[in-house]
Amino acid sequence: MSLPSPFPLLARAPVIPVVVIERLEDAVPLARALVQGGLPLIEVTLRTPVALEAIRAIASEVEGAVLGAGTVTEPAHVEASIEAGAAYLVSPGTTPAFAAALAAAPVPVLPGCASVSEAMALMAHGFEVMKFFPAEAAGGVPFLKSIAGPLPGLRFCPTGGIGPGNVETYLALPNVVAVGGSWVVPADAIRAGDFARVRDLALAASRLKRAAKF
């Protein structure tokens, strides 16, 4: 049985904002700013006590937002995230047992990997698109270039250490379908309620070109 494909989602935007929401009241205006800026795919990380409530609020109140749950690290996160309204899941890494749980999820998943062996293990579960994390620390662009030949069927969403200075280099790789990053959602802008700044950063990111074909 084939897994739910993330390609229709990833085709919508070249950048997935990786969001840490500390205050629930920031969730809806932040998501609206990102959608207005052309970045509808929003990864809300499960790093704070309000993360699931933030996903629930955005899913019910922000038209056009496509919510993902990030930092999914255990099977319990899968059910809780989907119940809250997550349309896709992202993990920072994937153990063999957890890979099986993610493969059984009813929504698209970007399982995390940082090596060729991990990528091959995930490929054996049926995954075709993976999160490459932490991208810069794990080899960055040279790593992704080097595995394009031996693993031609795989596509990646690199995340970690990516920003305005290197994002275009990543998106120029044919095996990179999108990138994840937090530079479009600066913590100081969120704290200050400066969602116009977030919208403008999102707009610039939404105009980036990518080499990957869908």
Domain boundaries, the chain: 7-206
Q: Mean pLDDT over residues 172-192, rounded? A: 98
Q: Tell me the C-alpha to C-alpha distance, in Å, between residue 206 and each of 71, 102, 106, 188, 190.
A: 23, 28, 28, 21, 19
Q: Mean pLDDT over residues 195-202, rounded? A: 98
Give the residue among 77, 1, 31, 25 at the shortest CA–CA distance from 202.
31
Say what the alpha-carbon torsion angle 166, 170, 173, 177 is, to the nearest 10 degrees.
-150
pLDDT of residue 214: 83
The mean of the pLDDT values for the chain is 97
Q: What is the rounded radius of gyration, in angstroms, for the C-alpha atoms of the chain? A: 16
3-state secondary structure the chain: CCCCCCHHHHCCCCEEEEECCCCHHHHHHHHHHHHHCCCCEEEEECCCCCHHHHHHHHHHHCCCCEEEEECCCCHHHHHHHHHHCCCEEECCCCCHHHHHHHHCCCCCEECEECCHHHHHHHHHCCCCEEEECCCCCCCHHHHHHHHCCCCCCCEEEEECCCCCCCHHHHHCCCCECCEEECCCCCHHHHHHCCHHHHHHHHHHHHCCCCCCCC
**43 among known catalytic residues:** yes
Packing angle, helices 96-103 and 75-84, rounded to 10: 30
Give pLDDT tens digits for 70-87. Answer: 999 999 999 999 999 999
Give pLDDT tens digits for 124-136. Answer: 999 999 999 999 9
The CA-to-CA distance between both ends of the chain, in Å, stands at 21
Q: What is the pTM of this model?
A: 0.97
Does 212 score more than 70 pLDDT? yes
Q: What CATH superfamily classification does 7-206 receive?
A: Aldolase class I (3.20.20.70)
pLDDT of residue 15: 98
Query: Which is catalytic among the residues 43, 53, 118, 128?
Result: 43
The CA distance from 141 to 75, in Å, is: 31
Query: Which is catalytic among the residues 131, 145, 209, 213?
Result: 131
pLDDT of residue 1: 60
